[in-house]
Amino acid sequence: MALVLTQFVLCLSGLQLIFAADHPSYVAAVYEHRVLLNPNPEIPLNRSSALEHMNQNLRVFEEQTALAAQQGAQIIVFPEDGIHGFNFTRASIASYLETIPDPQKVTWSPCADPHRFPDTEVLHNLSCMAHKNRLFLVANMPSRQSCNRTVDPHCPADGKYQFNTNVVFSDQGVIVARYHKQNLYYEASFDTPPKCEYVTFTTPFAGRFGTFTCFDILFRDPAVTLVKEMGVRQIVFPSAWMNALPLLASVQFQRAFSYGAGITLLAANLKATKYRMTGSGIFTPWDSLTHHDTDGDSGKLLVRRVPVIVDDKHKLVPFSGYPSSKEPEKMHAWPVSSLNANYDGKHCREDSECAKEASSTTFNSIMMKDNFTLVALQGTEGNISVCSGSVCCHLLFRRSETKEFYALGVFDGLHKTYYLEICALGAQIIVFPEDGIHGFNFTRASIASYLETIPDPEKVTWSPCADPHRFPETEVLRSLSCMAHKNRLFLVANMPSRQSCNRTVDPHCPADGQYQFNTNVVFSDQGVIVARYHKQNLFFEASFDTPPKCEFVTFTTPFAGRFGTFTCFDILFRDPAVTLVKEMGVRQIVFPTAWMDQLPLLASVQFQRAFSYGAGITLLAANLKATKYRMTGSGIFTPWDSLAHHDTEGDSGKLLVRRVPVIVDDKHKLVPFSGYPSSKESEKMHANYDGKHCRKDSECAKETSSSPFNSIMMYDNFTLVALQGTEGNISVCSGSVCCHLLFRRSETKEFYALGVFDGLHVLEGTYYLEICALVRCTGEEQSSCGGESEHAQTLVDFRLTGTFTTPYIYPGILGNGMTVDIPDHSGWEGGNSFYMSRTGMSAGLVTAMLYGRNYEKDHA
């Protein structure tokens, strides 16, 4: 019996030798480790305590490395965070960090030379595991790297990078590769490397391997670049992956990536049942050995022989699939003839075609936080399609029964969670509203405990996230800074701040020796404060002081150049708003606001749209949502288009994300407050318009068939004239401002009037206005002209012209349901006349206005 057994083993060994000769292969191991966590990761430890914690996990690593070696493993991969755990802060992980020298510059075996670099006990331990067991070892650990802020603009404020790091040891214990994770996932303790790293290492048994970590697998760099551009065919993949069904379970996407990219993936995941972390495997394009256990609470070692992928032999082309001329015959075990014999390989390419093909209607459902379009499977076999955007999906199917509900879904868009949290996928700047952190209606005394001191970024370079204790009582700043740093985007927020002052040298200094400001603060994508602006034009804000001097604040970004910032009520005044745009040439504005809608002329999105169009700038406007106070209305506005949100009924927040062109003066030829004229404009309105209209009250009276009347609009006494009939040509004047309207409308049921105001507005602020406005009145009475209404059914084509003494005109068009619009054409003609025209609106017209601001007369 013993002899027979021996012969069997020899035969098996012979088969393996033959396999190795014809098909180069190696033995790989991955270990899914049940990590022993620090119960209080946010509390800093001393180095000895941190080592004691890490050694508990390293002892398990040592045991599993020995077991893998006994089974012939030539390489073993351990998971991300397996040594130290997770949920640290930047400060609390400091005692866990070790310096890992660049193996491209330094050849070092920590096991053989443990004292060459200080505080490298973990590296020494891992190096000795690799050397003792004669295998390559891949581990993940936290590391530090010193930097100099004078030569490296990305260097954190504390003078060191903290990286999530993969380190690879050869079978001699020498460090042969070091990779710093590029795409962080809620990892406040770590920095993104200044440049993406494409790291490979070479083994004697399988040639070249590449490495990246966990969330990296969802992005082009470094994952796809390693495979597609650099030709790497073996990847070692430490991960701490939280399962997210139905599309992103760990082994599900590991299997998909290996198959799609045509590579071998050695994936070691962390085991932490509480956090839905499990799922590891050794994947080749053809098969896999996997482990996924949501019930147990122990680690798992996987060991298997893996073929070495050779391009010339295997003919694998990444992301090309595995086609075969025999594919239709291999589809199902059922008889081939019944698998939709009439399928011709064609399917719909757009929504309208899909609708014709599908026997059931499409529906929408949220999957993985995205809005999918789906179509249900019906019957036991079928041929269905569904489209969204540029993506169309087609399914030819047969199923054993119909008891369970299946659907084919499609999504073509930006995954919003990643957009917010991962700058690589989109958002590079985010703006939050005025008063969004603290609220409003405070007294000077009651807001005191909310105040933080924000140092002048022109004098102090500071990242509150990296250096939280530099200034006392700056918890809010730290939180905001970490948001910006973690998500790698610029962040604009509004908060209350204090600034000490001395009344002996500053006559404006308040009696209590400190200024209290309504403040915008801007953080870079590294969490550094890069701008601070104190609101100039306060609106019933007893808790705050007006700054002694108006501030004109800008900051520069790498993606769009220079931005300016001001706040809410500021937008109605020359300083700082107009000066930033007209004198300083700023073309992008971030605008936190807590704006209360006031129709018919000053609803939030209405004036945001008008300011962006009139000034020729991009406006990123974030408004507060407080339905009780009529606060709603935010948007991303360019001179040409907009993405806006206005909701007076709901009570939830709203995120708006869109791609925005960078305005370049030389290219876009935009001149603030000059309009957008066209030589073709006059041909599109009315053939009988001669371009002339009245210039004073007596002329207007002769032109207009109806008598002017007065009505209160926005607390000001407007002079108006009613529209009559379905088309006409009317005028009205007040003071030096005359307004002329050429119009055609779809019906006469709703009461419209053309109004004019030339005077000083004195309620809720003092500022001089010159306004021409076409408004839908809320009733049939003249006194209803000026009332607040969001709705209108009448379609109106118009050309509105006004004579003004100011060059600062903000053209605005508001449609039914608070939809914002812009003119077809606008501009100056005949010296002091400004016009705008619009035809073909799809929504009823609520208001069309030429909102003029005469800043020189504000204090005349």
Tally Cβ neighbours within 10 Å of residue 356. 8
Q: Is 692 a catalytic residue?
A: no
Phi-psi region of 704 (alpha: psi -120 to 50; beta: other; left: phi over 0): beta
Angle at which helices 47-70 and 121-133 cross, to 10°? 10
Q: If we measure between CA atoms, which residue out of 686, 669, 729, 692 comes closest to residue 830?
A: 692
Q: Which of 434, 452, 541, 770 is catalytic?
A: 434
3-state secondary structure 656-678: CCCCCCCCCHHHHCCCCCCCCCC
Tally Cβ neighbours within 10 Å of residue 399. 13
Q: Which two tokens stand for residue 187?
A: 């990892």
| Complete DSSP assignment for 57-125 | HHHHHHHHHHHHHHTT-SEEE--TTTTT-S---TTTTGGG-EE---TTT----TTT-TTSSSS-HHHHH
Q: If we measure between CA atoms, which residue out of 624, 623, 617, 611 comes closest to residue 589?
A: 617
Q: Which two tokens stand for residue 167?
A: 């380190």
- Strands 98-99, 136-146: pairing is parallel
Q: Is 434 a catalytic residue?
A: yes
Q: How far apart are the first and last CA of the chain?
A: 114
Pair 373, 409: CB distance under 8 Å: yes
Q: If we measure between CA atoms, which residue out of 81, 46, 191, 68 comes closest to residue 132?
A: 68
Q: Is 568 a catalytic residue?
A: yes
Going by the DSSP 8-state scheme, the letter that residue 242 receives in this structure is B
The alpha carbon of 815 is separated from its chain's Cα centroid by a whole number of angstroms, namely: 29
Going by the DSSP 8-state scheme, the letter that residue 597 receives in this structure is P
- Strands 75-77, 280-283: pairing is unpaired
Pair 187, 85: CB distance under 8 Å: no
In angstroms, the CA 548 to CA 704 distance is: 50
Q: Hunting for tokens 């990761």 — which residue is that?
A: 41
CA-angle at 650, arms to 647 and 655, nearest 5°: 65
In angstroms, the CA 284 to CA 288 distance is: 6
| Neighbour-count burial for 318-340, b at 16+ CB within 10 Å, e otherwise | beeeeeeeeeeeeeeeeeeeebe
Q: Hunting for tokens 């007076």 — which residue is that?
A: 648
Pair 526, 156: CB distance under 8 Å: yes
Residues in a beta bridge with 235: 210, 265
Element at 254 (helix H, strand E): helix 250-261
Tally Cβ neighbours within 10 Å of residue 238. 30
3-state secondary structure 734-759: ECCEEEEEEEEECCCCCCEEEEEEEE
Q: Which of 197, 535, 681, 785 is catalytic?
A: 535
Pair 319, 310: CB distance under 8 Å: no
Task: Compute φ and ψ for 222, nearest 5 degrees.
Answer: -90, -5
Q: Which of 128, 509, 568, 777 is catalytic?
A: 568
Helix (H, G, I), strand (E, B) or coil at 629: helix
Tally Cβ neighbours within 10 Å of residue 395. 15
Q: Which two tokens stand for residue 214?
A: 């966990």
Task: Compute φ and ψ for 89, nearest 5 degrees.
Answer: -95, 170
The alpha carbon of 259 is separated from its chain's Cα centroid by a whole number of angstroms, namely: 30
Residues designated as active site: 434, 535, 568
